[in-house]
Amino acid sequence: MKLKSLEISGFKSFADKTIIEFMPGMTGIVGPNGSGKSNIIEAIRWVMGEQSAKDLRGTKMSDVIFGGTNKRNALNRSEVSMTFDNSDRYVKSEFNEIRITRKLYRSGESTYQINGVDSRLRDIHELFMDTGLGRESFSIISQGRVEGIFNAKPEERRGIIEEVAGVYKYKQNKERAQKE
């Protein structure tokens, strides 16, 4: 499964619609301090369902919406879409391409979509759980997170390994079933 593109609009410093196309091979994102490199990684985490404003370096979730500069007014909506090539059926879906979208308005309204269809956060999580791409997986290690993984409690570290190994989904389903 390959990441094809990322579309960011109104998220953090990306006021205008910005499309990043990922070419085959490795992609490096370079730029001066404060130019938005970490914001790109956070856009990826956000569209995949990140729920912690703090982990996105904010205090409330609406902090991800472009807050304006001295030249430009704040925006009312943040939108991020990420498109994967799924022709190898890495993710259990009939689609060759999977596009997930998350939107958040200042009013608090929030939506997720999978290939244009309104979805629940849980659907997004299930899609990516056990692909090694989950929020807590090793695939995304942000500034400071390496240390976090080393300092994690053994149970937390086990959770990360279980997600990468592909058993986490079953554990979650079991826990949910036990609660219901």
Q: Which two tokens stand for residue 71?
A: 């030249």
Judged by CB, which is closer to ligand ATP: 75, or 164? 75
38 lies in the site for Mg ion, by CB under 5 A: yes
Q: Is 32 annotated as a binding residue?
A: yes
Q: Is 38 annotated as a binding residue?
A: yes
What is the CA angle 97-93-140, rounded to 5?
Answer: 70
Residue 178 interacts with which of ligand ATP, Mg ion, none, CB < 5 to 8 Å by class: none
Q: What's the start-to-end Cα distance of the chain, in Å?
A: 34
Judged by CB, which is closer to ligand ATP: 67, or 132? 67
Quote the least distance from Cβ 136 to ligand ATP, whole Å. Answer: 21
CB 71 within 8 A of CB 47: no
The residue with tokens 């914001």 is 39
Residue 12 interacts with which of Mg ion, ligand ATP, none, CB < 5 to 8 Å by class: ligand ATP
Residue 10 interacts with which of Mg ion, ligand ATP, none, CB < 5 to 8 Å by class: none
CB 112 within 8 A of CB 123: yes
Q: Which two tokens stand for residue 55?
A: 């982990």
- Binding residues for ATP, by number, are 32-39
Q: Which residues contact Mg ion (rule: CB under 5 A)?
A: 37-38
